């Protein structure tokens, strides 16, 4: 008899968990607060550690049709645009790590997961418009409530409810709320053929400046360019119209972006200026996980941003959510409801250190990316000499 597992949240992590668990024969219901399953936001990069997991879920072919497979990553100085380092991706990385390096629009990846989840009905049930407000463990079951009238009961609950997770508070009652980092991300999307030829590129491009960096890469099978500028700005600055840390999709404009970044990135200015429209997003995170107890409590497990929100400076937040989903399903396997607490405990034991390492490295990358003065000069010199060697992450991509 399969277990009945409730999943709070139908983002990339929640849907990946639904697909992975249902493929093992488990029965899952995804409860999503939004009125429809959808993803806003920008592009995401998927390293070979993630695309290997997508392959194991039979989702890689679907993702490949929608993604771009960039030939290289090029790192430049944000001030003068000079090249600091380049690392080949494409065949080189696929041969080395057994999976491609892809750039995909978040909505496209979410769509691939949603289609797979729908195809697994009735083992996967998908419910929208359900904002979970209560979670209670009762004997061998977990009950979740949405308002006063609606309740669901499962043998286990997976909290995939993102940065502001309600389920996290049920796992660790003293869990601190996410902390404001003072970093703001602006993002824009443009058709590549609408750009002047000099600004078109199929590479992952990164520009490093003082207290800021910018990233651009193709998505939608190479038809669009996704551009993100992340800058450390003064708290309370009017860089977005109504700062709301829970809103991933705030209205922003070029003038406010330029006021926030000043003259720190002349080398990337032509690209910034060519974008038709900007949206903004205030970045929050949590300190790295301190042990398995931060991810699981008896019949309740956390995954993705609900467990380990991080700065996007290693481009692995969604990647870790997908890794979590596969690891969780591997531990739960075809086991029965009675086995869930032990399986969840094995999952947390297997995952917490890697997630904590990725969180810590993402934070450190931010310090290195945004360095000024002597530290910046040392970083640039090292990048010029060691190039691809410094950009590669074997511990991450092999894991």
Ligand X SMILES: Cc1cc2nc3c(=O)[nH]c(=O)nc-3n(C[C@H](O)[C@H](O)[C@H](O)COP(=O)(O)OP(=O)(O)OC[C@H]3O[C@@H](n4cnc5c(N)ncnc54)[C@H](O)[C@@H]3O)c2cc1C
Q: Which residues contact 381 (CB under 8 A, 6 or more apart)?
A: none
Q: Which is nearer to ligand X, 310 or 343 (CB)?
A: 310
Q: Which is nearer to ligand X, 156 or 304 (CB)?
A: 304
Q: Which is nearer to ligand X, 90 or 382 (CB)?
A: 90
Q: Terminal CA-to-CA distance of the chain, rounded, Å?
A: 33
Q: Which of 217, 313, 347, 397 is catalytic?
A: 217
CB of 104 to ligand X, least distance (A): 9
Q: Which is nearer to ligand X, 92 or 131 (CB)?
A: 131
CB of 18 to ligand X, least distance (A): 11
What residues line the site for ligand X (CB under 6 A)?
8-14, 31-34, 44-45, 130-132, 160-163, 166, 185, 228, 281, 283, 304-306, 312, 315-319, 321
Q: What is the dihedral of CA 343, 348, 349, 352, to 10 degrees?
A: 160
CB of 35 to ligand X, least distance (A): 10
CB of 8 to ligand X, least distance (A): 5
Query: What is the C-alpha separation between 253 and 251, in angstroms, rounded?
Result: 7
> Active site includes 217?
yes
Quote the Cα angle for 101-106-108, to 5°: 90
Burial 122-135 (b: 16+ CB within 10 A, else e): ebbbbeeebebeeb
Q: Which is nearer to ligand X, 131 or 141 (CB)?
A: 131
Q: How long, in residues, is the chain?
A: 399
Query: What is the C-alpha separation between 322 and 15, in angstroms, rounded?
Result: 9
Query: What is the C-alpha separation between 387 and 370, in angstroms, rounded?
Result: 18
Query: What is the C-alpha separation between 226 and 204, in angstroms, rounded?
Result: 10
Which residues are designated catalytic? Answer: 217
């Amino acid at each position: 008899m399969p277990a009945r597992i409730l999943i709070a949240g139908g983002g990339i992590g929640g849907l990946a968990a639904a697909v992975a668990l249902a493929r093992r024969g488990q029965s899952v219901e995804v409860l999503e607060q939004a009125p429809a399953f959808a993803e806003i936001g920008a592009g995401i990069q998927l390293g070979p550690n993630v695309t290997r997991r997508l392959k194991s879920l039979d989702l890689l072919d679907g993702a490949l049709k929608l993604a771009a497979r960039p030939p290289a990553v090029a790192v430049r100085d944000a001030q003068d645009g000079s090249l600091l380092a380049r690392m080949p991706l494409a065949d080189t990385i696929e041969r080395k790590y057994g999976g491609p390096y892809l750039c995909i629009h978040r909505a496209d990846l979410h769509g691939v997961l949603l289609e797979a989840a729908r195809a697994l009905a009735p083992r996967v049930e998908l419910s929208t418009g359900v904002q979970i407000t209560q979670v209670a463990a009762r004997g061998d079951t977990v009950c979740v409530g949405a308002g006063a009238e609606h309740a669901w009961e499962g043998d286990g609950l997976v909290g995939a409810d993102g940065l502001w997770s309600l389920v996290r508070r049920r796992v660790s009652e003293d869990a601190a709320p996410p902390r404001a980092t003072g970093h703001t991300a602006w993002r824009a999307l443009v058709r590549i053929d609408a750009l002047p030829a000099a600004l078109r590129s199929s590479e992952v491009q990164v520009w490093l400046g003082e207290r800021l960096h910018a990233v651009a890469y193709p998505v939608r099978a190479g038809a669009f360019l996704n551009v993100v500028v992340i800058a450390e700005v003064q708290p309370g600055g009017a860089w977005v119209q109504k700062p709301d840390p829970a809103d991933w999709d705030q209205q922003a404009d070029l003038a406010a972006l330029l006021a926030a970044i000043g003259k720190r990135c002349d080398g990337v200015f032509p690209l910034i200026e060519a974008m038709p429209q900007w949206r903004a997003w205030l970045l929050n995170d949590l300190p790295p996980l301190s042990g398995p107890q931060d991810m699981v409590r008896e019949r309740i497990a956390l995954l993705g941003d609900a467990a380990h929100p991080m700065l996007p400076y290693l481009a692995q937040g969604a990647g870790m959510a997908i890794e979590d989903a596969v690891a969780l399903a591997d531990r739960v396997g075809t086991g029965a409801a009675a086995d869930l607490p032990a399986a969840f405990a094995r999952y947390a034991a297997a995952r917490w250190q890697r997630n904590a390492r990725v969180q810590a490295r993402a934070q450190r990358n931010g310090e290195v990316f945004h360095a000024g003065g002597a530290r910046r000069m040392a970083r640039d010199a090292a990048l010029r000499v060691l190039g691809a060697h410094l950009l590669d992450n074997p511990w991450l991509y092999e894991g």
